[in-house]
Structures are given as structure tokens and as C-alpha cells.
Amino acid sequence: MKRIGLFGGSFNPIHIGHLALANYLCEFSHLDEVWFMVSPQNPLKRNAQLWDDDLRLELARLATEDYPKFKVCDIEFQLPRPSFTIHTLNALKETYPNHEFTLIIGADNWALFPRWRSADEIIARHKVLVYPRPGYEVDKDELPPSITLVETPLLEVSSTFIRESLEAGKDVRYFVHPKVWERIIKLQKSLI
């Protein structure tokens, strides 16, 4: 049985913060792999600044293709929108019954977790791994048994920072994987 960490998000675009966190979890936690779950539509986020679905998926694949413990999963692209995590978890469990899935979320998302669709069901039926985010304290003594708080390095990089920097004409090549930067440069005029 493979132990898979599910790292969901818009990845708009994927950046070194995402990759370093997932790499850390593959090498220093119980996880065998991390699957990047590119979300076509997050119900708690506005989509005004969302890059094209296929482009975000392509960039995630480019960023992860050289590390065997990373996979990109597009199952949410086949599910009804908006993307609710409970539907994704149920579909994955049905598709891959021999895998053990752990949802990976930041402390910022843990603070919003009561607003998630079927939050109680997720906690009751699935493991959740919470990583630190600046400004969001999590008291591990108050966490349900299925929730694990993990200490990871903090890299404060955001997709918003990447997009805004590109719009301002900045060279932020070291904030994204080299293959992602290459692709962004080719497409830059259509992205901003």
C-alpha cells in the first residue's frame, strides 16, 4: 500500500514553495509520494486571476516530472465544479483502493476548515496533515486524532507574488522551477 499525500491547490502557478514543501514531506514524513491536485475551481477563492486550467496543469507536470516521488493528478478536472475536497477524496479512494491518502493543507486552510463542504466527514474518514503558515497558530492538543501537525521549513512565496511580479516586468526565475520559467517566458505576453 502506497502512502500518498494529496497536495491540492490552484497552483496559479506552481512555485518553489510548493515544491520544497512537498519534497520535505516525501523525504521527512511517512509519505511515499505527494500528488499535486491541480484544482480547476476552488469554491472558497475567486477565479478572476486564475490562469487557464490546462496551462496550470502543464506547469505542474513540468515542475514535477524529474522527481519520482511527485505526481500530478487531474481527477478534479473530471469531477463536477466547483471542486469539493470530499468529492475528490471519495473519487480517489474508489479509483485507487490500495492507496492510503493523506490530505495536505496549510494552517491557513485549517483555520477555514469548518467552512469546507463535509468537513466533519473528511476528518472522520481521512487523515489530514497540517503544515505551518506564518500568522496561523495551530494548537496540536486540540486537533482530532486524524489530524497531524507537521513542522516544515517556511518559504514565503506565493503564486500571487509570482503573477504580480510578472505583470510588473520582474525577473522571478528563481522562484519557480526552471522548466516552468521557460514556459512562462514563452507565454508571458498572453499571461499579463
Within a domain: residue 77?
yes
pLDDT recorded at residue 192? 61
Within a domain: residue 177?
no
Structure pTM?
Answer: 0.93
Q: Could you report the per-residue pLDDT of 94-119, keeping only the tens digit for each?
A: 999 999 999 999 999 999 999 999 99
Domain hosting 12: range is 2-156
Please spell the DSSP secondary structure of 75-98, one letter per residue.
GGGSS-SS--HHHHHHHHHHH-TT
Q: Does residue 45 surpass a pLDDT of 90?
A: no
Within a domain: residue 171?
no
Name the phi and psi angles at 54, rounded to 5: -65, -35
| Domain CATH for 133 | 3.40.50.620
39: confidence class by pLDDT, cuts 50, 70, 90: very high
155: confidence class by pLDDT, cuts 50, 70, 90: confident
The total number of structural domains in the chain stands at 1
